Chain A
């Protein structure tokens, strides 16, 4: 069980990701923008994993990652995005994030999270 920060400007997608993670027993912080995300971190502390949308108005996901890493250099980050061009993928990888394409299934997300957080075992449904 881990504390996961989910940032997406699309509320439906944000809620979906959060619901999947909660089903797996994670504690989820949600934010609709980078600014909200930073405020949440300030308030609730640094998460163990960040799941970020990249293409957001204002501060985008990659920039947000850099800000979060300044506070927590080893923070594992999963980019959940529809961007696919080589330039965007390179930028995400250069920033040190793992990248998963939308649309993403619950199983896909679960596998990615497991890869990034090998120590935490999901507690199963209902958490």
Chain B
């Protein structure tokens, strides 16, 4: 705060102080030269509180001293007595500020920023006011005694009572006002717009509340006028306290402070004027003492009630806010818990939590499903779930996933689960970790991931690689070796080696054809397995007609026995044309190929309905048949039933057929004919049925084309 600003504030307070001092001096009675009322005591406290951080506080001290001196001199006090009063007033305000700052350091005016808002603030102010006035009284009346040789106990009592009441009332109002101004300044930057905001606050107050304010004001005015002006000396002061109680319980604390000030002023003024319930007391000091006690009591009752109520309301609001925050937290926690549960329940991987005592505390539906629906609330032995090692041995207890995780193994392990719920077995990768639980024990958290398809795929891939390498390396050896042989022959004897070289090259090209067949079949298998299928109505009659024509031409060209085909009524199916052509060509090709030497192939193609929406197509031959016990195995990759008998093949033809049929949600099977040969029966979705029967495993797209002969 700048010095000019500080000094201007000093001036304002000095003026107020002068007025308060004059008002006080007007209440001097008798020859005691002692004022009955001393509002200047309260004004001085507010002044010094407001100027606590002022840059020119010395000016306040000087002003207070000078004003006290001058006014006292001007109103009849001797110079010596005036100096005593100066000293008494300075000591009084100093003691008050010191004590009040010690006891309530957080308030506006003592170093903090809080407003006078709790009963403890009130008691602090009251105690500090009493101690300060006691210090003042120790100097004032004592000084008067020293100067006049006459000590007046009543004067001391009046001094105590008037200054305490004055400080209590005026500084309570001043402290609240000062705090309100500071808050306003902090929020709005200045006092501008105050009337507008006050009006809007007024408009926001409910009308019945405004009516109550008016009622309290009117009733108080009426009651005090009756009690002090028209009661004819009757001691009717006690009912007046009820009005203060009414205001303190119901209305705002600031209003209560103003109310206390107003009724206190009325009481004092009328009493000094010798009206009212205390007028009957003859002794001036005693009368002043009583009325000041009355005013102080009214102020204390009003403020104690109002501030106590404020404090309770603040606590209740805090409690309600806490409760609301707690409820919000609880709701959030519940929402999170629901979300977590939903996530865990919808996970494709299995999750279970097992506590230190082996009790299962959580297990999601996926975990139950992976375990084949076998659940138990406690960790059970491997047999219960049918837990096996990958090579099919029962899992020992120490190798159970739970036990491994508890023993600190973090790496995942593959286990085989086979039980009545999973008769075909399932390979599950289990990994886990331990977490401390609420009881200080450790829980195992286990995550189950179904790797059956992955492992099967991996094994299939490894098998594929092996077989492909094997089946390609053999013809490649022939290619290399016979090429070298041809070269050597031609180098050694170009003239006569031609026939021998041609024989070598014939072997080379035979090996190359074998390699081409295998590669074509591999491509066909991959297509059948992974390519997108595009279904459409496919006339099997047309497809079979094409195939039989081509096979007949091929036989004629190869000078082989021409197969005889018997084709019955064939349906239209809902399928992928390219794959169906491949399927039927493979089957008819097998029927012609696996035939005893010298026998003319006879192939019959017929059809029959096969359940809802499906059609069965049967291809019957008069071939060499299928070795006993291999009717299912012939559909496996690289299975060659007739290798011993010298029939060439890649072992992929029927695997391709099976894959094509499965991708059309159909079935394929082989049986022996009563009269010799075999029958292959394929079911496919009939075009009359719905397209939904088809499993489209890959997104729709153009199918890969397959070229070249099969098998």
Contact = CB atoms under 8 A, between A and B. Distances in A.
A15 B473 contact: no
Nearest to B477: A103
A85 B475 CA distance: 19
A112 to B, nearest CB: 15
B473 A82 contact: yes
A12 B481 CA distance: 9
Nearest to B481: A16
Nearest to B476: A103
Contacts of B630: none
Contacts, number: 49
Interface string A18-53: 011000000000000100000000000000000000
Contacts of B466: 85
A104 B478 CA distance: 9
Contacts of B480: 103, 105
A73 interface: no
Given A85-B466, A103-B476, A13 B481 contact: yes
B469 interface: yes
Given A12-B507, A12-B511, A15-B507, A55 B470 contact: yes
B644 interface: yes
A118 interface: no
Contacts of B476: 103
A106 B470 contact: no
Given A103-B476, A103-B477, 6 more contacts: A12-B482, A13-B477, A15-B507, A85-B466, A103-B481, A106-B481
B484 interface: yes
B648 to A, nearest CB: 10
A110 interface: no
Nearest to B508: A12
Nearest to A17: B481
Contacts of B484: 105-106
Interface string A45-68: 000000000010110000000000
Contact of A12 (B473, B478, B643, B644): B478
Contacts of A72: none
A19 B643 CA distance: 25
Interface in B113-160: none
B507 A83 contact: no
A98 B321 CA distance: 89
A69 interface: no
A102 interface: yes
The size class of the interface chain B forms with chain A is 10 to 19
10 contacts: A12-B482, A12-B510, A12-B511, A13-B481, A16-B477, A82-B473, A82-B474, A85-B466, A103-B473, A103-B476
A16 B485 CA distance: 8
Nearest to A15: B507
A102 B511 contact: no
A16 B479 CA distance: 10
Contacts of B475: 12
Contacts of A15: 507
A19 B480 CA distance: 14
A102 to B, nearest CB: 4
A12 B46 CA distance: 122
A15 B473 CA distance: 16
Contacts of B644: 33, 57-58
A55 to B, nearest CB: 7
Contacts of B481: 13, 16, 20, 103-106
B485 A102 contact: no
A106 B644 CA distance: 28
A12 B485 CA distance: 12
Contacts of B482: 12, 16
B470 A82 contact: yes
Nearest to A107: B484
B469 A82 contact: yes
B473 A13 contact: no
